């Protein structure tokens, strides 16, 4: 269900699924060469849609498969992308994805160019802003490299649009971007009616097990906490992700804690920490593990509208009343041509880990 503000009232209606756009490709026009201006401002031209793509940035593999509707054109990905495939739903949607090459990464985001060349890629996606040493060796070997900038909503939409064009499927990207705009605008409209003093303090842990790393100002987590009607308690002190002490968390006293998907931490780890026994989120059982769909819902992705709805429902169940399980089924059907089972949805939402948290019963199967 999606909320819509009508005067002072809040009404519910299903999220409108964007219609399939009609492009030259869907009308049977002859494919033409594809020209991309990447995150460096460099122009890359492909003579035809890519048949063999490699993605090195870790969110990029899942986004490419979503834009493509298949895994058959992805021949290489980062090992951390593979970890998300194996942990999440993608291994069931695209079973062939677990066989995609990952061993060409030698360290960090640096590929072994000789190994990469054996994959014979038409195009390689690489970070645009992490140094030329990640880009030059591949280009010097004759590979076509698209540099990407990613981290906010604008960068995400540019990336989805670029991948759609590279694959010859711009319609799919346009449809998903329209879905983002619909959900974002609806949530933002509803949140304008929520008084500031009724917006709960939220803390997001990027890391918890070995260090307490939180999301500050300018992170995507900060963006969607505010979008859903919360206040990021870690904002204002510094930008980006940074480490904090237990004393700082006690001082912030967050009402809600989000445990990210980039380490093995669970809500129970937070509940069991005696240092945090007096924190409001612990006392009131409002600690939640962030869902894992085709990729982790923490960072920007094609599935971000589902993250926004999930968080809005948790923060303001009196305002928002999404039928999240139905929304997920709809999105996976038109997004992946995959019918989610109830067990699939339980897994994505981490129902076993979150089931006993306050308010999480709203996401249980009925």
Q: Which of 110-124, 190-204, 232-246, 297-311 has the lowest mean pLDDT?
A: 232-246
d(CA 253, CA 339): 41
Q: Which tokens go with 147? A: 């540099």
Residues 86 and 208 in one domain: no
- Per-residue pLDDT, 9: 32
Residue 2 lies in a domain: no
Residue 23 lies in a domain: no
187 to each of 15, 65, 288, 344, how far by Cα in Å?
11, 27, 20, 26
Same domain, 333 and 202: yes
pLDDT at residue 7 in the model: 31
Same domain, 204 and 102: no
CB 44, CB 166: distance < 8 Å: no
The pLDDT assigned to 31 comes to: 54
**Nearest CA-CA partner of 100 in 68, 139, 65, 150:** 65
Residue 25 has pLDDT above 50, yes or no: no
202 and 350 co-located in one domain: yes
- In the beta sheet, which residues pair with residue 147? 126
In a domain, 96, yes or no: yes
**21 falls within a domain:** no
pLDDT for 106 equals 86
Establish if 332 belongs to a structural domain. yes
pLDDT digits (tens, 9 = 90+) for 91-124: 999 999 999 999 999 889 999 999 999 999 999 9
Residue found by looking up tokens 């924190």 in the block: 279
Same domain, 112 and 229: no
3-state secondary structure string across 78-117: CHHHHHHHHHCCHHHHCHHHHHCECCCEEECCEECHHHHH
Compute the distance between CA of residue 179 and CA of residue 199 in angstroms, rounded to an integer.
Answer: 25
Question: Which residue, 168, 185, 217, sits at the end of a domain?
Answer: 168
Q: Give the model's confidence band at 298: pLDDT under 50 very low, under 70 low, under 90 confident, else very high.
A: very high
Name the token pair of 105.
């990464």
Same domain for 207 and 327, yes or no, is: yes
Q: Locate all alpha helices (DSSP H) within the chain, ordered by sequence.
A: 60-68, 79-87, 90-93, 113-117, 136-140, 153-166, 170-191, 220-227, 246-252, 267-271, 280-283, 304-315, 324-336, 342-348, 351-354
Tens digit of each residue's pLDDT (9 = 90 or more) over 312-329? 999 999 999 999 999 999
Nearest to 225 by CA among 310, 345, 341, 135: 310
**Mean pLDDT of the 339-343 span:** 97
The DSSP secondary-structure symbol of 26 reads T
Residue 174 CB neighbour total at 10 angstroms: 17
Q: Are residues 205 and 85 in the same domain?
A: no
In which residue are the tokens 């948790």 written?
314
Co-location of 237 and 353 in the same domain: yes
pTM attached to this predicted model:
0.90
- β-pair type (213-215, 201-207): antiparallel
Tokens representing 166? 């590279």
CA-to-CA dists, residue 208 to 239, 290, 307, angstroms: 19, 13, 20
* Helices vs. strands in the chain: H and E counts, helices first: 15, 16
99 and 197 in a common domain = no
Both 235 and 142 in one domain: the answer is no
pLDDT digits over 159-218, tens only? 999 999 999 999 999 999 999 999 999 999 999 999 999 999 999 999 999 999 999 999
Task: List pLDDT tens digits, range 124-172.
Answer: 999 998 889 999 999 999 999 999 998 899 999 999 999 999 999 999 9
Number of domains forming the structure of the chain: 2
CA distance linking residue 198 with residue 10, whole number of Å: 17
3-class SS of residue 192: coil
51: left (phi over 0), alpha (psi -120 to 50) or beta: alpha
Q: What is the CATH number of the domain that holds 219?
A: 3.40.50.1980
Residue 231 Ramachandran class (φ > 0 left, ψ -120 to 50 alpha, else beta): beta
Range of the domain at 288: 193-363
Q: What percent of the chain has pLDDT over 90?
A: 85
Query: Based on the number of CB atoms within 10 Å of its own CB, is 310 exposed (0-12), middle (13-18) or buried (19 or more)?
Result: buried
| Pair 203, 237 in one domain | yes
Q: Are residues 233 and 163 in the same domain?
A: no
Considering the domain boundaries, does residue 140 fall inside one? yes
């Amino acid at each position: 269900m999606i909320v819509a503000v009508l005067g002072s009232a809040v009404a519910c209606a299903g999220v409108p699924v964007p219609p399939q756009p009609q492009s030259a490709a869907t009308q049977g026009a002859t494919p033409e060469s594809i020209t991309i201006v990447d995150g460096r401002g460099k122009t890359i031209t492909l003579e035809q849609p890519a048949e063999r793509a490699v993605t090195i940035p870790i969110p990029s593999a899942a986004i490419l498969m979503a834009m493509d509707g298949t895994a058959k054109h992805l021949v290489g990905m980062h090992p951390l992308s593979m970890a998300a495939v194996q942990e999440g739903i993608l291994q069931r949607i695209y079973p062939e994805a677990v066989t995609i090459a990952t061993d060409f990464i030698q360290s960090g985001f640096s590929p072994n160019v000789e190994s990469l060349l054996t994959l014979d890629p038409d195009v390689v996606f690489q970070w645009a802003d992490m140094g030329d040493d990640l880009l030059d060796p591949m280009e010097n070997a004759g590979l076509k490299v698209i540099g990407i900038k990613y981290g906010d909503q604008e960068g995400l939409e540019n990336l989805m649009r670029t991948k759609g064009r590279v694959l010859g499927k711009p319609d799919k990207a346009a449809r998903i971007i329209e879905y983002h705009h619909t959900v974002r605008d609806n949530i933002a409209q509803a949140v304008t009616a929520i008084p500031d003093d009724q917006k709960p303090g939220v803390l997001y842990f990027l890391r918890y097990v070995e260090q307490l790393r939180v999301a500050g100002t300018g992170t995507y987590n900060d963006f969607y906490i505010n979008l859903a009607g919360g206040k990021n308690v870690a904002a204002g002190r510094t930008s980006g992700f940074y480490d904090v002490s237990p004393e700082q968390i006690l001082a912030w006293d967050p009402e809600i804690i989000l445990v990210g998907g980039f380490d093995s931490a669970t809500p129970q780890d937070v509940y069991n920490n005696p240092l945090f026994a007096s924190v409001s989120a612990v006392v009131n059982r409002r600690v939640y593990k962030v869902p894992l769909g085709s990729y982790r819902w923490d960072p920007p992705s094609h599935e971000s509208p589902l993250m926004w709805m999930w968080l809005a429902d948790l923060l303001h169940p009196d305002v928002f009343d999404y039928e999240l399980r139905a929304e997920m089924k709809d999105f996976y059907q038109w997004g992946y041509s995959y019918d989610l089972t109830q067990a699939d949805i339980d897994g994505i939402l981490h129902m076993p880990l979150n089931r006993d948290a306050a308010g999480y019963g709203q996401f249980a199967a009925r």
